Structure 1
Amino acid sequence: MSSLPCVGCGWCCLSDPCVESHIRYGYMRRCPDLYWHEGSGCYRCRLAEDPVAGERMRFLLGVGHGCCAPLNSWRLDVRDREK
């Protein structure tokens, strides 16, 4: 089974923040580097967008490798979960 592309629904990061988030911020309910991007209508990660460490972070976080939970219902309802 091939993975589906990431749609930026935020499920993976909101349900289980990454190890890098835990290292930087401790065990928090929500990673401070996850944010809702109004322009694209999806969640984005500042760790992966960092101009210096972004390439390393994208590799470590698996950015671009597809959805880790293709049956999750959030894929069909991408929205800001804080509203």
Structure 2
Amino acid sequence: MGKPTNVDVDHFQNRVASVKENNYFLNLGYQFTFSKYHIDAKLEWNNVLNTKSYIRYINSDFYSIQNSFIIRPSQILFSLQFNL
């Protein structure tokens, strides 16, 4: 009746001098199928760990770059798909 549709896990690590910056991301999804009624219900939980931002550092002899991205807060989404 139901099946896991996705488990996404990502880990990014930045090392600048003696500083380590770890970024963890986790998304989960589950789908239910009601074949008698031709309905698919999907439940998704995005940003399970509620990571606030993603930061990337790039250093060389000539430049230093830091990119920061604010991440959407943890959210749960429920959707239905059906045929008329």
Which of the five TM-score ranges fits, normalised by the shorter chain? under 0.3
Larger RCO of the pair (alpha carbons < 8 Å, separation 6+): 1
Task: State the TM-score, normalized to the length of structure 1.
Answer: 0.21
Task: Indicate the structure with greater helix content.
Answer: 1
Choose 1 or 2 for highest CA Rg: 2
Task: Indicate the structure with greater strand content.
Answer: 2
